[in-house]
Amino acid sequence: MKQFFKTVFASAFGVLIAAGVIILVGVFMIIGLVSSSSESAYKPKDDTIMKIDLKGSFPDQSASNSFSELLGLAEGNSLSLNQMTQAIRRAKRNDKIKGIYIEANGISSGVANLQALRKELADFKESGKFIYAYGDSYSQGDYYVCSIADSVFLNPLGSVALVGLASQGMFFVELSEKIGVKMEIFKVGTYKSAVEPFIEKKFSEANREQINSYMGSIWGSITSAIEESREIQADSLNSYLNNGLAMGEATNAIAYKLADQLCYRFEVENKLKALLGQEAESKLKTASPAKVASIEVKEKEHKDKVALLYAEGTIKEKGSSTIPGMPSDETVINEELAVQIRKLQFDESVKAVVLRVNSPGGSAYISEQIWKAVVDLKAVKPIVISMGNLAASGGYYISCGASKIFAEPTTLTGSIGVYGMFPNFSGILGKIGVTTDIVKTNTYSDLGDDLRPMREDEKALIQKSVESTYALFLKRCAEGRGKTVEEINVIGQGRVWSGEQGVELGLVDELGGIREALKSAAELAELTDYSVMLADAPKDFFTKMMEKKLDEVKLSVIKSVMGEEYTLFRTINRMKNETGILARIPHEMELN
């Protein structure tokens, strides 16, 4: 008992200390927000270069970090597609910004967002301004983006780590047996592979087939772009890849025309200074994308609007989390998206909507609610989908009813299929000598009880429900795409496709990004003069930081109380949470 009170007191004391820290940080944050809001827009000096630091993740949106900006710890922004797009376009139009300098530092992102960034850089080059790229070493994601540059420089001890794509799966059958958890699996779709980790010990042949197919399409899009930009032959690039030359001397990259020159970072900066007529000992004038994006651009505000709305994350019910009552860093799409879409439906100034979807799917129920909001909106004004890194399964469900669908060639889409997973934890109870009993009024009063094996009649009911959901999914896609249910079923079955393949199959209308989607939405609404309105600005850094710190405190207390048992508790709850009838893709293709 004494130890118990010591633990409780320590936990409570920790909470008080953490609360004090949060309040103190909050005060500084408010000062930072006031300070940053009072500053005028950035005004570049003559011969400025926009410097892009390729590192970290690359989401569609990110929050500004006014606190870091106040303390001078960072430029105040993490890299995001919407910010980079705005910055590159303003750099292109501003006469004082002469070019772009990219430093490769290990970006990790879905391929479609990198493809969108690369397209923006290609458009920037049409202005006649230069792009230089430097890397101590280039990851595959780094190099895919940087290969568009006029000149690619590599450290003499560096490498261009082009090795190709690979997809690795983890399978938990033996782990489930050891801890006493059995997953009851229900699915429709030959290629619906999200359940495979719980019933297989390796990829099924159908899953292996689809991975090879879409991965080949995506890698082909990447290598074709590199070959075109660097003016090298496919055979030459394949020779570099298949002979493992990325692991050799840096001179290999020069020999195969992947890099132009071996240089140290300071030598590249001196080249930039010379290009701008600056002395080598002077400081290179650079501006971050955050600063360039803030350059004031006087644009006429039009009465008619095209709204841009983001849908990014797993589709889940509001308030759900991986572990109930515990923090999660997972981005979630919930019923609020349907509410936002309905607001736009009744906003008379909004004449069309672009919905940017970046989701692996999730809850079939929530997907249906969002689908309904999309088709209701389409009945009164155009809604165009812009697919990001992935818009598959539930992500495709919420997209299929739109007026038009755009995707990048490397987007992962399709995965029209449904599955259900229900755990049986009776094995764990048996290991620790616990039994259960139940009293009920009707046959199925205890349906879904995860502390006992599932009966055959219960399995039949759930399978019927999964098949019914799949039939509805097929119907929604058929209605939205102007096809028969049979035609959708042939290309459905849970199979994942690339955006490029999606166009060929009729799942996607055109290849393109947000720019093309906005233009199409305006055309469908017959608009000539319009403004783009961001319908859901991301949370500011202060709000996000406070939420995160409170979550960290909660997590710290729980870990302190549970000790070594926390890891097992977390694993079991994650398995338990991934239950019900879902439309979700298990795949994600990242370049890093």
Quick one: pLDDT at residue 36?
A: 45
Q: pTM value?
A: 0.84
Active site residue 192: yes
CATH class of 305-591: alpha beta
Q: Is the model's pLDDT at 75 over the cut of 60? A: no
Check whether 532 has a pLDDT greater than 90: yes
Q: Is 127 marked active-site?
A: no
- Indicate the domain borders of the chain: 40-163+244-293, 305-591
Measured between alpha carbons, how far is residue 51 from residues 263, 291, 541 in Å?
18, 10, 23
Give 26's pLDDT tier (boundaries 50, 70, 90): low
State pLDDT tens for residues 482-500: 999 999 999 999 999 999 9
Give the whole-angstrom CA distance, residue 185 versus residue 194: 10
Place of tokens 């429900």: 465
3-class secondary-structure state, position 353: strand
Q: Which of 393, 426, 498, 520 is catalytic?
A: 393
Cα distances from 115 to residues 120, 414, 481, in angstroms, run 9, 19, 26
CA 491, chain centre distance (Å): 24
Q: Report the SS3 class of residue 352.
A: strand
Angle (nearest 5°) at CA 204 between 501 and 575: 100
Confidence band of 163 (pLDDT split at 50, 70, 90): very high
The owner of tokens 């042939």 is: 490
Q: Which residues contact 366 (CB under 8 A, 6 or more apart)?
A: 315, 316, 317, 333, 334, 335, 394
- Phi and psi of 539, rounded to 5°? -60, 145
- One-letter amino acid at 324 equals P
Q: From the CA atom positions of the chain, what is the Rg in Å?
A: 26
Q: How far apart (Å, rounded) are the C-alpha atoms in residues 209 and 215?
A: 10
Please identify which of the residues 98, 187, 192, 316 carries the catalytic annotation: 192
Architecture of domain 40-163+244-293: Alpha-Beta Complex (3.90)
| Residue 308 near residue 537 (C-beta atoms within 8 A) | no
- DSSP assignment, residue 383? E
For the ranges 126-140, 466-480, 566-580, the lowest mean pLDDT is seen at 566-580
Give dist(CA 364, CA 68) in Å, integer. Answer: 40
Torsion of CA 383, 88, 161, 257, to 10 degrees: 120
Buried b (16+ CB within 10 A) or exposed e, 566-585: eeeebebbebbbbebbbbbb
Instruction: Encode burial over 214-242: b for 16+ CB neighbours within 10 A, e otherwise.
Output: bbebbbebbbebbbebbebeeeebeebbe
Q: Choose the weakest-confidence range: 25-29, 115-119, 202-206, 341-345.
A: 25-29
Calpha distance 146→229 (Å, rounded): 10
pLDDT at 21 over 50: no
Burial class (CB in 10 A: 0-12, 13-18, 19+), 360: buried
Q: Are 308 and 535 in contact (CB under 8 A)?
A: yes
Least confident span in 18-32, 201-215, 332-346, 367-381: 18-32
Q: Please choose, from the candidates 565, 571, 559, the residue with its C-alpha nearest in 3D space to the C-alpha of residue 10.
A: 559
pLDDT confidence of residue 569:
57
- Interatomic CA distance for residues 283 and 564, integer angstroms: 53
| Range 244-250 contact pairs with CB under 8 angstroms and sequence separation of 24 or more | 244/163, 246/159, 246/160, 246/161, 246/162, 246/163, 247/159, 248/159, 250/154, 250/155, 250/156, 250/157, 250/158, 250/159
Mean pLDDT of the chain: 86
Structure confidence at residue 537 as a pLDDT band (50, 70, 90): low
Q: How many residues does the chain have?
A: 592
Percent of the chain with pLDDT over 70: 80
**Sign of the dihedral defined by the CA atoms of residues 275, 277, 279, 285, in that order:** negative
Distances (CA, A) of 267 to 134, 230, 301: 10, 22, 45
Distance CA(530)–CA(27), nearest Å, equals 40
- DSSP-derived 3-state class of residue 326: coil
Q: Which amino acid is at 375?
A: V
Report the DSSP pairing between strands 383-392 and 404-407.
parallel
308-344: per-residue pLDDT in tens?
999 999 999 876 654 445 444 467 899 999 999 999 9
Do the domains 40-163+244-293 and 305-591 sit in the same CATH topology, yes or no? yes
What pLDDT, on the 0 to 100 scale, is given for residue 337? 96
* Distance set, CA 72 to CA 1, 65, 68, 546, 587 (Å): 49, 11, 6, 20, 39
What's the CA gap between 495 and 415, in Å, rounded? 5
Q: What is the mean pLDDT of residues 355-369?
A: 96
Residue with tokens 């919930």: 334
- Lowest mean pLDDT: which of 14-23, 107-116, 137-146, 497-506? 14-23
Is the predicted pLDDT of residue 103 greater than 50, yes or no? yes
Q: 232, 257 in Cβ contact below 8 A?
A: yes
Do the Cβ atoms of 362 and 394 come closer than 8 Å? yes
Q: How far apart are CA 170 and CA 196, in angstroms?
A: 9
Distance CA 509, CA 404 (A): 6
Rounded-to-integer distance, Cα 307 and Cα 323, Å: 34
pLDDT at 516 over 60: yes
Q: Which two tokens stand for residue 348?
A: 């008379």
Q: Which of 53-62, 69-78, 118-127 bottoms out in mean pLDDT, i.e. has the lowest? A: 69-78
**Residue 142 is encoded by which pair of tokens?**
């780094």
Largest CA distance in the chain: 87
Cα 99 from Cα 84, distance rounded (Å): 14
Q: Which H/E stretch holds residue 447?
A: none
Q: Which phi and psi angles does 132 have, rounded to 5°?
A: -110, 145
Give CA 556 to chain center in angstroms.
28
Query: C-alpha angle 85/291/53, rounded to 5°?
Result: 65
